Chain A
Amino acid sequence: MFLRLLISAAAVERARTLTAVLALTVVAATVSALLNLYVDVQAKLRREFRGYGANLVVLGSNGQTLPEDALERVDATIGGRGVAAPFAYVVARTSDGSPVVVAGTDMERARKLNSWWWVTRWPHGSLQALLGTRAAIVLGADRPFDLSFRGRTLRLSPAGTLQTGAAEDSRIYLSMHDFVAWTSVGLSAIEISASGTPEEIASLAESLAAKLPEAEIRPVRQLVEAETRVLGRTRMTFLAVTGVIILTAALCVLSTLMAAVFDRRKDFALMKALGASEGAVHAVVAAEAALLGAVAALPGYLLGAGIAAWISQASFHAGMQPRLIVLPPVLAGSVLLAVLSAVAPILSLRRIQPAALLKGE
């Protein structure tokens, strides 16, 4: 009987039921979109922050160079969770005797790690050098030049220039192979851009320290602290905005459903006149509302996930998977909201006599 009451009520007043379900779906979609975004935006923003480059540096302890297999060990520990690039430095002399810092690195890895490096042309092939802009002015970027280190001279041809606005502009970069063949000097540092939350990065640093006991693992404080602060502010703003939007959407549902229930007060008066108790009437109302809320939750969740994916694509140019963890709160919230907005007007109608209502007062 109870079930039949529910279903008939929904079926007979189709238009009103549809309006109520629509309102609930809109709220569910809004909540779902915002929560999906909130869960996702942190991961997306962290990826943007990786553009700042290395947040962990592996250095030889006490200024010594790193062992030869250090890069292999680092790669094995990181897995796919970051980019690592090796760097080795010496001070060499140009043909007129002035000192210049020469660095050996793996060009591909350096390019991936340091996305802000502005390079006119990357070297490929042996004995080609990448000149920092200031070094290029001193040495002349158009013809081959000589560098000498510990009595060994190397002739290099410039491939392109590098501009960063920092110390790299005064350096000359060679491939690691050329560098080692010329200087026989080992690695000074391995710079790592590790992705993930601060806890994941800290545990990665610990694993690296275990794998490389002869090295010092240092976080780049400048990046780590700034990232935490900016992400924190963004998250709080997003949360505040989400809270306000959800409240508004809930109000929208509240007014719609309250009006719908209020319109049906004659039905409830009739039920009371036929002998239903207060509790029974409330139960019917609550159950109807709960049913509507549950029905609206799933399409609302999916619609919201779609909207969130669209926003994510438009903002970050990267898609987004719907997060299943958002579904339970959306379902619970939808049902709760529907029940609350249905029961409130009923409670206010308690004091009215069925007879008065049926007469139309």
Chain B
Amino acid sequence: MFIRLVYESFRRQRRRKFLAGAAVAMGMAVTTAMLAVATDIGDKMARELRTYGANLVVYPQEDTLDVEIGGVSLKPVSEGGFLNEADLPKIKGIFWRHNIVGFAPFLPLSASLLADEHSDAVPVQVLGTYFAKSLELGGESFVAGVRSTHPWWKVSGSWPADNAREVLLGKTLAGQLGLTEGTTVTVSGRAARVTGVLSTGGPEDSAVVAPLFLAQEIAQRPGAVRRIYVSALTKPEDAFARRDPASMTPADRDRWYCSPYALSIAYQLRETIPHAEAEQIRQVAQNEGTVLSRIEGLMLLVAVAALLAAGLAVSAAMSSAVLQRRHEVGIMKALGASNAAVASIFYVEAVLIAILGGTVGFGLGSLLGQQIGARIFGSSIEVAPVLLPLVLGLSVTVTLASSASSVWNATRYEPADVLRGTA
């Protein structure tokens, strides 16, 4: 009998049920989309913040002091320590390898540039690095170079190949010497073709940027790397991150090691690359932590506001749906139904609407979340399936709670008043 009542209610009042279900679906769609955005915004923003460039630097333990003013290194290349180029792929072997967005080796040295036979040799800074070099570690291949760690470097022309005798000229240098792309220059006796003019807004504008092997040739130090800049996705630093891992309990140390703090990634880089020191580039790493935590906090609060709005929308729809059926309640009570019996029919209906509407809403919300991610960040926001029970739970709770007050109100009226229409 009970089931028949519920079934008939759905069959006869299709439009009303549909409207209520639609309201629940919309409310849950918004909830799902907001939860998806709020949980994923941290990752997405962390990736966007990598536009600031490298946040970690690796340098040789044995190195002497840098003598650098305005980005120009005044230390002769023969002095100081070096890292080994062969150790570079190991960077992609650390625990947090999936957080390493890119890295680039640097070898700065002083050389002389000869534009052609008729002019004098000009002293220049040469910077040896990778542009977009393919490396391999354990069967996995990846690309390393300044094109990912220094995204504000702009080249008019084309980037040199990492294994060819091609170079970039800084904009200021090219302007001073009257050189453009396509010309061939001689750098400390080695001929190289200029494939493009580099504009960075920094000291590289007055330098020659060459593939690493060429700089190593000029310096007569095969396999030498002075510094490695690493760009990694990190978690904002907190008091726990700043603790010394050597002084932690094993459980704490594991937790520290397995959190992508800039400090723990630097620790892992130091472990992997022999004779190296690694630390965070504070200007980038510290500030992105601050910016990230602010944005995440803001989005969380806005998501909570969205959840409240969705809850209110669903409540309003459900309570007005029940209110419109006061007559039915009156009839049922006049026929002798108890308050509990009447209420249970409405609650069961509410739960059914909540589950159906919630599921549809979850699907719509996932779609909405994906669209927001795709349009704004160029990568979709994944909705974890584990959110479905959560959303359904919310849906059922809100629909029940909002029907409850209306049902309780409706049952308090005298059946006679309601049937006459004076209630």
- To the question of whether A and B form a pair in one complex, the answer is yes
Hey, which bits of chain A sit against chain B, CB under 8 A?
A: 23, 26, 30, 33-34, 37, 41, 44-45, 48-49, 51-53, 59, 89, 91, 98-101, 114-118, 134-135, 138, 163-167, 169-170, 188-189, 218-223, 225-226, 229-230, 233-234, 236-238, 240-242, 244-245, 247-249, 251-253, 255-256, 259, 262-263, 307, 311, 314-316, 360
* B152 contacts partner chain A, Cβ-Cβ < 8 Å: yes
- Is the beta-carbon distance between B376 and A236 smaller than 8 angstroms? yes
Among residues of B, the one whose C-beta sits closest to the C-beta of A50 is: B287
- Please give the distance in Å from A175's CB to the nearest CB on chain B: 19
Besides A226-B53, A230-B291, 6 new A-B residue pairs in contact (Cβ under 8 A), listed by A number:
A30-B305, A41-B298, A163-B282, A165-B282, A221-B200, A252-B312
- Given contact pairs A45-B294, A116-B283, A255 touches B317 in the complex (Cβ within 8 A): yes
- Is the beta-carbon distance between A244 and B281 smaller than 8 angstroms? no
- Given contact pairs A230-B45, A245-B306, A237 touches B372 in the complex (Cβ within 8 A): yes
Q: Which residues of B contact A247 (CB under 8 A)?
A: 30
Hey, which bits of chain B sit against chain A, CB under 8 A?
A: 19, 23, 26-27, 30, 33-34, 37, 41, 44-45, 48-49, 51-53, 56-57, 64-71, 74-75, 151-152, 200-202, 279-287, 290-291, 294-295, 297-299, 301-303, 305-306, 309-310, 312-313, 315-317, 320, 323-324, 368, 372, 375-377, 421
Interface centre among B65, B71, B282 (most CB of A within 10 A): B65
For B309, give its contact among A51, A233, A248 (CB under 8 Å). Answer: A248
- Is the beta-carbon distance between B66 and A170 smaller than 8 angstroms? yes
For A316, give its contact among B53, B151, B294, B313 (CB under 8 Å). Answer: B294
A-B pairs, top 9 by smallest CB distance, nearest first, are A221-B201, A252-B313, A259-B320, A226-B51, A170-B66, A165-B281, A116-B282, A170-B65, A116-B286
- Please give the distance in Å from A49's CB to the nearest CB on chain B: 7
- Is the beta-carbon distance between A167 and B68 smaller than 8 angstroms? yes
- Is the beta-carbon distance between A222 and B52 smaller than 8 angstroms? yes
Complex Cα spacing A220 to B152, Å? 10
Can you list 26 residue pairs at the A/B interface with Cβ under 8 Å?
Answer: A30-B305, A34-B302, A34-B305, A48-B291, A51-B290, A89-B70, A101-B65, A101-B69, A115-B286, A116-B287, A166-B283, A167-B68, A167-B71, A188-B70, A222-B52, A223-B52, A225-B151, A229-B48, A237-B41, A237-B299, A245-B34, A245-B309, A248-B306, A249-B313, A252-B309, A315-B301
For B306, give its contact among A221, A234, A241 (CB under 8 Å). Answer: A241
- Is the beta-carbon distance between B283 and A53 smaller than 8 angstroms? yes
Complex Cα spacing A91 to B76, Å? 14
- Is the beta-carbon distance between B320 and A255 smaller than 8 angstroms? yes
Complex Cα spacing A114 to B312, Å? 46
Q: Which residues of B contact A241 (CB under 8 A)?
A: 34, 37, 299, 302-303, 306, 372
- Is the beta-carbon distance between B295 and A45 smaller than 8 angstroms? yes
- Is the beta-carbon distance between A245 and B30 smaller than 8 angstroms? yes
- Is the beta-carbon distance between B74 and A91 smaller than 8 angstroms? yes
Q: Which residues of A contact B41 (CB under 8 A)?
A: 237
- Is the beta-carbon distance between B67 and A170 smaller than 8 angstroms? yes
Interface centre among B67, B303, B375, B421 (most CB of A within 10 A): B67
- Is the beta-carbon distance between A314 and B49 smaller than 8 angstroms? no
- Is the beta-carbon distance between B283 and A52 smaller than 8 angstroms? yes
Q: Which residues of B contact A33 (CB under 8 A)?
A: 305
Complex Cα spacing A247 to B306, Å? 10
Total residue contacts A-B, CB cutoff 8 A = 209
For A233, give its contact among B26, B286, B377 (CB under 8 Å). Answer: B377
For A138, give its contact among B30, B65, B71, B202 (CB under 8 Å). Answer: B65
Q: Which residues of B contact A134 (CB under 8 A)?
A: 65-66
- Given contact pairs A248-B310, A360-B421, A188 touches B302 in the complex (Cβ within 8 A): no
Q: Which residues of B contact A222 (CB under 8 A)?
A: 52-53, 152, 201-202
For B26, give its contact among A37, A166, A230, A248 (CB under 8 Å). Answer: A248
Complex Cα spacing A165 to B372, Å? 37
- Is the beta-carbon distance between B286 and A220 smaller than 8 angstroms? no
- Is the beta-carbon distance between B316 and A101 smaller than 8 angstroms? no
- Is the beta-carbon distance between A45 and B291 smaller than 8 angstroms? yes
Q: Which residues of B contact A45 (CB under 8 A)?
A: 291, 294-295
- Given contact pairs A37-B302, A230-B48, A248-B310, A166 touches B202 in the complex (Cβ within 8 A): no
- Please give the distance in Å from A330's CB to the nearest CB on chain B: 15
Q: Which residues of B contact A238 (CB under 8 A)?
A: 302
Complex Cα spacing A105 to B291, Å? 28
- Please give the distance in Å from B269's CB to the nearest CB on chain A: 12
- Is the beta-carbon distance between B48 and A117 smaller than 8 angstroms? no
- Given contact pairs A100-B65, A188-B70, A251-B313, A52 touches B57 in the complex (Cβ within 8 A): no
- Given contact pairs A30-B305, A226-B152, A252-B313, A188 touches B48 in the complex (Cβ within 8 A): no
Complex Cα spacing A30 to B307, Å? 12
- Please give the distance in Å from B410's CB to the nearest CB on chain A: 13
Complex Cα spacing A92 to B30, Å? 64
For A188, give its contact among B53, B65, B69, B202 (CB under 8 Å). Answer: B69
Among residues of A, the one whose C-beta sits closest to the C-beta of B295 is: A234
Q: Which residues of B contact A221 (CB under 8 A)?
A: 152, 200-202
- Is the beta-carbon distance between A255 and B313 smaller than 8 angstroms? yes
- Given contact pairs A225-B51, A226-B51, A233 touches B45 in the complex (Cβ within 8 A): yes
Q: Which residues of A contact B27 (CB under 8 A)?
A: 248, 251
- Please give the distance in Å from A188's CB to the nearest CB on chain B: 7
Complex Cα spacing A23 to B320, Å? 12
For B52, give its contact among A52, A165, A170 (CB under 8 Å). Answer: A52
Q: Which residues of A contact B151 (CB under 8 A)?
A: 225-226
- Is the beta-carbon distance between A256 and B320 smaller than 8 angstroms? yes
Among residues of B, the one whose C-beta sits closest to the C-beta of A262 is: B324
Complex Cα spacing A37 to B295, Å? 12
- Is the beta-carbon distance between A249 and B48 smaller than 8 angstroms? no
Interface centre among B23, B74, B287, B299 (most CB of A within 10 A): B287
Among residues of A, the one whose C-beta sits closest to the C-beta of B49 is: A230
Q: Which residues of A contact B65 (CB under 8 A)?
A: 98-101, 134-135, 138, 170
- Please give the distance in Å from B312's CB to the nearest CB on chain A: 5
Q: Which residues of B contact A59 (CB under 8 A)?
A: 70
For B297, give its contact among A167, A226, A314 (CB under 8 Å). Answer: A314
For A166, give its contact among B19, B57, B315 (CB under 8 Å). Answer: B57
- Is the beta-carbon distance between B295 and A30 smaller than 8 angstroms? no
Q: Which residues of A contact B324 (CB under 8 A)?
A: 259, 262-263
- Please give the distance in Å from B276's CB to the nearest CB on chain A: 14
Q: Which residues of B contact A218 (CB under 8 A)?
A: 201
Q: Which residues of B contact A37 (CB under 8 A)?
A: 298, 302
- Please give the distance in Å from A42's CB to the nearest CB on chain B: 12
Q: Which residues of B contact A117 (CB under 8 A)?
A: 282
- Is the beta-carbon distance between A256 and B316 smaller than 8 angstroms? yes
- Please give the distance in Å from B295's CB to the nearest CB on chain A: 6
Q: Which residues of A contact B310 (CB under 8 A)?
A: 248
Q: Which residues of B contact A240 (CB under 8 A)?
A: 37, 372, 375-376
